[in-house]
Structure 1
Amino acid sequence: MTDFETATAVEPRQGTASGHRFGAELDPGWAVGTKLHGGYLLAVLGRAAARVAGEAHPHPTAVSASFIQAPAPGAADVEVELLRAGRGATQLRARLAQDGSPCVEALIVQGKLDETDAWWSRAEPVEIPDEADCVRNPPEVPGADFRVPLMEVVDQRLDPAGLGFAVGKPSGAGVLAGWQRLANGADWDPLSLLVALDPVPPVSYDLGVPGWAPTVQFSAYLRRLPAPGPVRVRMAATEIGGDRMDETAHAWDAKGRLVGQATQLASVRVPRGHAVERP
């Protein structure tokens, strides 16, 4: 098991006229099947962006990324371009490439988060059973021909209400929710929350459409430093059509405060003639 900080480490290299360059070793333990997890890849970019932004703006506050092609575990290159360094935020462009081909490109806003509560919020934490009463996601997926190594580094426990798909009875609500911890006991931070905001399995499972749903575009906002302990995450879809699915995730910390939110557009293949019974 490789801890998050080691798995997302970047090493400075000689920069170019337009940006800063880093080397990374993409870890196969942060994957779903053979595909590296999207939130993990963004965390690698965020790690490099933080190095460029410096101590004044150590935390990602907004990330908007396009996933161009899936990189393989192993050596990768990261380039970060500083767009603007202001008093309240630093704006950067980051690209992850492998063998000279771009894989992920992101616009990242760095700032400095704290633990201050929201002045106003209607983001009430999702109501789910206690962590001990939820179902742990195993690395070995029952009935599937692939493993989920990510579930060895992230302890995720899903609300049983959304697990009907496991016995061939998806709820049709298009919602999954559960608790997440880093398996090695480390606390969540704004960078690792990018992993939590991209939970697995995708919401399409709850609609009776299992299988890989690769992310096309992903946007996230990080709101505050999370309290120690687990986060609870709710992911929901609004619509599936044209081989595309949106997924919106919200994450609350152990104090019930919103610490991150994300929306992504993913590819999905709906079997011909498939219909969903709405709850």
Structure 2
Amino acid sequence: MSEYDDAIRLEAGDDPSRRSGTFHEEWMIGNAVNGGLVMSTALTALGQHLAADPTETTQHVDPVVLSAYFMTASQPGPFTVTTEVMRCGRKLSTGQVTIHQAGDDGVPVERMRAIGSFGNLTDVDVQRQASPPDMPPPEQCVSADQAPPDFLANAKFLERLDLRLDPSTAGWALGMPSMRGVMRGWLRLRDGREPDTTLLMMALDALPPVAFDLGLFGWTPTLEFTGHIRRRPGPGWLQVVLGSQTLGGGMMEEDAAIWDSAGNLVAQSRQLCGVRVPR
């Protein structure tokens, strides 16, 4: 079993709306479990609920959109995920997902709440899409393994990935951010597990924060995240681009796009992040 599949594995009980799992320390970034993995876990739970729902007859097997709010930072250890099917339509089925963990006093603490929709991405008819950026091939890019040791020590999550950054957007690692607010890279799982639609949601939140390219190296917690899955990805490398145009009031937006190995745009997202700007 892939490390990723093990990380999002869920156990179902008697209640079809409740499942349980365990977040692993190996998927932490900073002081929290990577938010992308948390969202992939939520989508897995909602997909399993829809598959078991007797009113769901339209074979909505692919996540299409997820809008998530992060209440508190997810920590290694057991969690409970609760799902609710809100609507089963012709094109989309929509539900709500919440993830809780026990706090220090044993009282459940809400980690994330999201609304997601599933559809069917078989043979998607695409009339228009953005083209992948021009960047060096993976073997000519900068491996995440070359990041500063103090950064890697707090980014166990990156050990699960094979991440190669475009050299033109990796200057921050040498103390020379470009100040353009751009991050580009190639991404795949280190154990060779091929991407699917659920993994795309994690990949949208897998690169170092674009704030690093603006010289802001503090924690940038995600406040709200909306991801769109546009197609099922082909096997091989994913090409990921992040960008930000607006910074102010202690917040910034981060836009992401992913193309698969065939050059198809397969996922997009926008998230609102908190950021600390030195005075």
Q: TM-score, normalised by structure 1?
A: 0.92
Q: Report the Cα offset of residue 64 of structure 1.
A: 0.2
1:207 to 206, 214, 232: 214
Distance 2:247 2:153 in 1: 25
1:161 is aligned to 168
1:236 pairs, out of 223, 239, 243, with 243
Q: Which runs of 5+ in 2 are unaligned?
A: 53-58, 103-107
One-letter code aligned to 1:193: L
Aligned to 2:31: 34
Tell me by how many angstroms 1:162 deviates: 0.9
Amino acid at match of 2:119: G
* Counterpart contact for 1:190–1:225, Cα < 8 Å: yes
1:109 maps to which of 111, 117, 120? 117
1:142 corresponds in structure 2 to 149
* Shift of residue 115, structure 1, vs aligned partner: 4.8
Of 61, 65, 70, which residue of structure 2 is paired with 1:67?
A: 70
Q: Distance in 2 between matches of 1:22 and 1:83?
A: 18
Deviation track 1:229-273 (CA, whole Å, cap 9, x = no partner) reads 00100000111111101000000000111000000001110100x
Distance 1:36 1:162 in 2: 25
Q: CA offsets, 1:142-193, max 9 Å, x none?
A: 3448331111111110000011112222111000000000111111001001
**Alignment correspondent of 2:105:** none
The count of corresponding residues between Structure 1 and Structure 2 is: 268
- SS at the partner of 2:277? coil
| Secondary structure, counterpart of 1:173 in structure 2 | coil
SS across alignment from 2:197: coil
SS in 1 for 2:73: coil
Q: 1:181 to 1:94 in 2, by over 3 A?
A: same
Unpaired segments ≥5 residues, structure 1: 273-279
Between the aligned partners of 2:257 and 2:148, the Cα distance in structure 1 is 25
| Amino acid in the other structure paired with 2:89 | G
The one-letter amino acid of 1:47's match is T
Partner Cα distance (1:237, 1:198) in 2: 14
Give per-residue Cα distances to partners, 1:88-108, cap 9 Å, x unaligned: 211000000111111100000
Q: Distance in 1 between matches of 2:82 and 2:218?
A: 32
C-alpha distance in 1 between matches for 2:73 and 2:187? 25
8 A contact 1:232–1:253 mirrored in 2: yes
Structure 1 Cα separation of the partners of residues 190 and 63 of structure 2: 22
Q: Distance in 2 between matches of 1:144 and 1:263?
A: 24
After superposition, what is the alpha-carbon deviation per residue over 1:46-87, rounded to whole angstroms, capped at 9, x for unaligned?
Answer: 110000111811211000000000121110010000101122
Correspondence 1:86 to 2:89? yes
Whole-angstrom CA distance in 2 between matches of 1:89 and 1:117: 16
1:277 alignment counterpart: none
Structure 1 counterpart of 2:6:
6
Q: Name the amino acid aligned to 1:101.
A: V
